[in-house]
Amino acid sequence: MTLKGDLSELPLSDLIEMTALGGKTGRLLISSPDGTLAGTLDFSSGKVVGVACGELDAEKAFYALLAVEGGAFEFDGDAPVGGGEELLPARTMLMEGMRRLDIVERLRRRLPAPALVRFLGGDAEDDAEAGVLAQLGPGSRRLGDIVAGVLVGGERDEYDALQAVQRLAGRGVVRVEVPGEPGLTGGGPQPELER
């Protein structure tokens, strides 16, 4: 059985929920709006048993695919799926994914990609912060370039990178200069969005 459609008419979150509740087995292929393959989700009896999206691990790949808008999908019920174990229940992953999308959207508004990030001095407190600091050199660098650099390894996603920048700015380790805004972000404590 093959089912094809447009994600603008049937959002991926609804499609995942229907596939899980229906106990379906097969592979769901997700395409970006430009037609390139964004990733895949494997289901076995309605359980998510495999996810691929770039180099991200399965859970982060799931969250990244939820952010695809306006693309297309194809569910192939005859495709061979891996015999992997269920990651987390689909409903749990959907709830967490939607929460993360909401936080990323708020962080994007607060920390837009064209903003410049300048290292002021200090140390990272975790691996995500170390990844951000590794992208900085002398002077300043665009936030979008830093996030892209952090994503290359596949261990971190945009959520991790933006959260790390926000924490570093809150401790005064970096300063984020947003073009067109009279003030600067960073150099002092800032309220942190929920994790």
Q: What is the predicted pLDDT for the residue at 126?
A: 94
CA-CA distances (angstroms) from residue 80 to 43, 77, 83, 178? Answer: 10, 8, 9, 48
Domains contained in the chain, number: 2
- Residue 67 or 152, more confident: 67
Look up the domain containing 157 and give its range.
111-184
pLDDT confidence tier of residue 123, bands split at 50, 70 and 90: very high
Q: Are 122 and 46 contained in the same domain? A: no
Sorted by sequence, the CB contacts under 8 Å of residue 117 that are 6+ apart come out as 132, 136, 140, 141, 142, 143, 146, 165, 174, 175, 176, 177
193 domain residue, yes or no: no
Residues 74 and 122 in one domain: no
Tokens of 21: 């509740």
Q: pLDDT for 38-59, tens place per residue?
A: 999 999 888 899 999 988 888 8
Write the pLDDT tens digit of every residue in 60-74.
899 999 988 889 999
User: CB of 13 within 8 A of CB of 98?
Assistant: yes
- Note whether residue 192 is domain-resident: no
The CB density around residue 176, as the number of other CB atoms within 10 Å, is 23
Q: Phi, psi (5° rounding) for residue 72? A: -130, 165
Give residue 185's pLDDT: 55
Share of residues in the chain with pLDDT > 90 (%)? 61
Q: What is the pTM of this model?
A: 0.78
Q: Residue 81 has which token pair?
A: 């799926």
Domain closes at, from 70, 85, 104? 104
For the chain, give me the number of helices (H) and strands (E)? 6, 9
Q: pLDDT tens digits for 157-193?
A: 899 999 999 999 999 999 999 987 765 555 444 444 4
Chain Cα centroid distance, residue 105 = 11
Is pLDDT of 102 > 60?
yes
Residues 14-26 pLDDT 10s: 999 999 999 999 9
